[in-house]
């Protein structure tokens, strides 16, 4: 038998199937080619590029003010943190720093972004593994966070709030009160989340001991974020190379032990609590003053190279700008966390059952536009 | 290790290297033919132990291509940037490093896809983002598309 000129049963008796590009558990247009021996995965090969928009090429045609907005469309769940990375890279080139007020607002928004991203992930993980209820609970809190973002900058998802030198507008007068409300609400809900999913017997059996990733492989494959931290690899950029004042706030880097799906899950759950801690420390201490530093109309970076890495909700995002002194970048590279995390799928899924593939993919927390860019 | 110590250790083994310290990281400029031995040394030598390749990309300078490797040591917490110059822009080739750092597998395929640099001894040298029958390499500066509008 053959399909599009390729054998669907190999000489070794393996059955080759395609999962995606239109499949609910791939969280976007990801195409996986899987070689199966019965139910066991022998080999897996991701096929990418279904929504490749060449964001790097687009950025090279835009000015240093405008290219920031394109990056919201990469990892749309961490849009603000992507913008922050670009703004920081441009600030490095201009040798300016954001104003103290701008920096704190950025951090607050970044942690709110991380919270809403993890909440969405938590709901979807439940959904992937057959628990529909968590999704509605997650969206209850997530909507409240989205409303804060809407009120602050007019957009719920692609925020475009960061500009070189600070943030675009000042926060809404209601901002502090609403953020404090959501913190109180979240604190009381974390136990509820654990009761719903974490301690569930079916959930534990489907995630414990599944999708093992060794610490050596995690580093070698360039995994970052909770995917690597679940294996016990320290890689939190907020701790390693602090930016925008992360050095002044108290929080812990959460590390897992076993490197299976359950640990990656637990790392993210604990990270949410840490994000709430960070917000709590900052929300009453927003400095007075300008929210944006004064910059020239047309930004031109000195000839040279600038690299900025930040911790998005999924891991390390690197923005590498090569400038030749013109008003738009000569070369931009986005080192996206998901691209590297996805490459480790072949070791995580090898030997697993086809049903476990869904659990593995959902705990890597894939966002496909970030993979394809 | 400080930049000075890294420089001394590398100079002792490789004579034909140029250093550039103007940027944030220490840059080592090397010819494409010498990339492999240098990378193996940076990975395996215990004082270096650059075990994490966090960014791999290419720059098109019109006259030549430059491969850029950003390395970090998780143990020693030092960074380094290795740049390899590829003089031939018509048929660019360089040795792969994907057996040293597995993350290079996908990243090299991306560079092959968008810049046309062929990685020798790479196990799976196919386009990764674009279609197999795509003509040209979009991130090259001489890439032309009639639908492209310069803003």
Burial A203-220 (b: 16+ CB within 10 A, else e): beebbeebbbbebebbbb
Mean pLDDT lowest among A276-280, B22-26, B93-97, B100-104: B22-26
**What is the nearest CA distance from B141 to chain A, expressed in angstroms?**
10
pLDDT for the residue A7: 64
Going through A251-360 in order, the beta strands assigned E by DSSP cover 304-311, 316-323, 331-335
Give contacts of B123 with chain A, Cβ < 8 Å: none
Cβ–Cβ gap B55/A304 under 8 Å: no
Please count the structural domains in chain A.
1
Residue B144 lies inside a defined structural domain of this protein: no
CATH number at residue A105: 1.10.645.10
Which residue shows structure tokens 């110590």? B5
pLDDT for the residue A285: 87
**What is the nearest CA distance from A40 to chain B, expressed in angstroms?**
23
pLDDT for the residue A2: 44
Mean pLDDT of B107-130: 89
The series of mean pLDDT values per 10 residues for chain A, 373 residues long, is 60 81 78 88 88 88 88 89 92 89 91 92 88 89 90 87 88 90 90 86 88 90 90 90 89 89 91 91 88 85 89 91 89 91 90 88 88 87
What is the 3 state secondary structure string of A107-121?
HHHHHHHHHHHHHHH
Going through chain A in order, the beta strands assigned E by DSSP cover 2-3, 6-7, 15-19, 31-37, 40-47, 162-163, 166-167, 304-311, 316-323, 331-335
Residue with more model confidence, A39 or B47: A39
Residue B18 lies inside a defined structural domain of this protein: yes
Distance (Å, rounded) from C-alpha A274 to C-alpha A236?
13
Residue B102 lies inside a defined structural domain of this protein: no
Cβ–Cβ gap A221/B103 under 8 Å: yes
Residue A138 lies inside a defined structural domain of this protein: yes
Q: Which residue of A has its CA nearest to B25?
A: A307
Residue with more model confidence, A13 or B128: B128
The ipTM estimated for the assembled molecules is 0.88
**What is the nearest CA distance from A334 to chain B, expressed in angstroms?**
9
Cβ–Cβ gap B106/A57 under 8 Å: no
Give, in order, the Cα–Cα distances in Å from A145 to each of A62, A123, A156, A315.
31, 15, 9, 21
Q: Is the omega angle on the peptide bond into residue A21 within 30 degrees of 0, that is, cis?
A: yes
Instruction: Give the three-state DSSP class for A2.
Output: strand
Cβ–Cβ gap B68/A320 under 8 Å: yes
Q: Which residue of B has its CA nearest to A321?
A: B59
Residue A8 lies inside a defined structural domain of this protein: no
**What is the nearest CA distance from B42 to chain A, expressed in angstroms?**
14
CA-based radius of gyration for chain B: 16
pLDDT for the residue A1: 41
Instruction: Give the three-state DSSP class for B29.
Output: strand
Residue with more model confidence, B19 or A116: A116
User: Residue B66 sits in which domain range?
Assistant: 3-91
Cβ–Cβ gap A333/B55 under 8 Å: yes
**β-bridge pairing B118-120 and B93-95:** parallel
Of the candidates A61, A67, A329, which has an alpha carbon nearest to the alpha carbon of residue B151?
A61
pLDDT for the residue A5: 54
- Tell me whether B34 touches chain A (CB under 8 Å): no
Residue B140 lies inside a defined structural domain of this protein: no
CATH number at residue B24: 3.30.460.80
- Tell me whether B22 touches chain A (CB under 8 Å): yes
Residue A158 lies inside a defined structural domain of this protein: yes
pTM for this structure? 0.88
Give contacts of B138 with chain A, Cβ < 8 Å: 54, 57
Residues 6+ apart with CB under 8 A from A69: A83, A158, A160
Q: Is the pLDDT of residue B151 over 70?
A: no
- CB-count burial class (<10 Å; 0-12, 13-18, 19+) for A198: middle
Residue A303 lies inside a defined structural domain of this protein: yes
Reported as half-sphere exposure (CB side, CA atoms, 13 A), residue A134 has a value of: 26
Of the candidates A93, A104, A176, A186, which has an alpha carbon nearest to the alpha carbon of residue A144?
A186
Residue A105 lies inside a defined structural domain of this protein: yes
Give contacts of B105 with chain A, Cβ < 8 Å: 343
Mutation pick from A233, A240, A331, A337 vs chain B, by most beta carbons of B within 10 Å, is A331
- CB-count burial class (<10 Å; 0-12, 13-18, 19+) for B88: exposed
User: Residue A220 sits in which domain range?
Assistant: 55-345
Give contacts of A333 with chain B, Cβ < 8 Å: 55, 57
Please count the structural domains in chain B.
1
Residue A351 lies inside a defined structural domain of this protein: no
């Amino acid at each position: 038998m053959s399909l599009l000129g390729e054998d669907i049963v190999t000489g070794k008796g393996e059955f080759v199937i395609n999962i995606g590009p239109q499949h609910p558990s791939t969280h976007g247009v990801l195409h996986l080619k899987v070689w199966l021996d019965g139910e066991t995965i022998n080999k897996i090969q991701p096929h990418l590029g279904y929504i490749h928009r060449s964001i790097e090429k687009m950025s090279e045609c835009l000015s240093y003010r405008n290219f920031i907005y394109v990056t919201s469309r990469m990892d749309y769940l961490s849009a603000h943190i992507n913008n922050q990375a670009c703004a920081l890279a441009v600030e490095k080139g201009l040798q300016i720093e954001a104003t103290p007020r701008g920096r704190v607002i950025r951090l607050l928004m970044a942690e709110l972004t991380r919270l809403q991203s993890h909440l969405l992930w938590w709901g979807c993980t439940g959904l992937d593994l057959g628990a529909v209820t968590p999704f509605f609970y997650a969206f209850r809190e997530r909507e409240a966070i989205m409303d804060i973002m809407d009120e602050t900058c007019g957009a719920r998802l692609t925020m475009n709030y960061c500009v070189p030198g600070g943030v675009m507008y000042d926060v809404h007068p209601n901002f502090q009160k609403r953020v404090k409300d959501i913190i109180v609400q979240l604190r009381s809900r974390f136990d509820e989340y654990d009761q719903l999913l974490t301690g569930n017997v079916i959930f534990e059996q489907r995630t414990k001991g599944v999708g093992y990733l060794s610490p050596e492989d995690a580093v070698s494959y360039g995994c970052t974020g909770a995917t690597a931290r679940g294996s016990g690899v320290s890689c939190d950029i907020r701790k390693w190379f602090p930016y925008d004042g992360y050095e002044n706030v108290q929080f812990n880097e959460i590390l897992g032990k076993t490197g299976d799906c359950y640990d990656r899950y637990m790392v993210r759950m604990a990270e949410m609590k840490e994000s709430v801690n960070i917000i709590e420390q900052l929300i009453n201490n927003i400095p007075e003053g300008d929210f944006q530093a004064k910059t020239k109309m047309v930004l031109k970076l000195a000839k040279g190279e600038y690299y900025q890495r930040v911790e998005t909700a999924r891991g390390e995002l690197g923005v590498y700008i090569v400038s030749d002194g013109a008003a738009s970048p000569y070369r931009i590279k986005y080192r996206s966390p998901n691209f590297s995390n996805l490459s480790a799928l072949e070791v995580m899924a090898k030997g697993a059952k086809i049903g476990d593939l869904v659990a593995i993919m959902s705990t890597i927390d894939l966002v496909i536009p970030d993979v394809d860019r | 290790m400080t930049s000075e110590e890294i420089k001394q250790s590398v100079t002792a083994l490789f004579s034909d290297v140029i250093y550039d310290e103007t940027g944030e990281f220490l840059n080592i400029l090397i010819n494409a033919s010498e990339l492999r031995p240098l990378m193996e040394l940076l990975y395996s030598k215990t004082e270096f132990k650059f075990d994490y390749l966090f960014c791999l990309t290419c720059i098109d300078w019109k006259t030549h291509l430059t491969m850029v490797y950003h390395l970090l040591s998780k143990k020693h917490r030092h960074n380094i940037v290795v740049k390899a110059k590829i003089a031939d822009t018509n048929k660019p080739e360089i040795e792969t490093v994907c057996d040293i750092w597995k993350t290079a597998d996908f990243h090299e395929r991306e560079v092959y896809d968008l810049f046309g640099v062929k990685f020798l001894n790479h196990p799976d040298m196919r386009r990764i983002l674009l279609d197999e029958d795509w003509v040209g390499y979009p991130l090259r500066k001489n890439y032309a598309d009639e639908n492209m509008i310069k803003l």
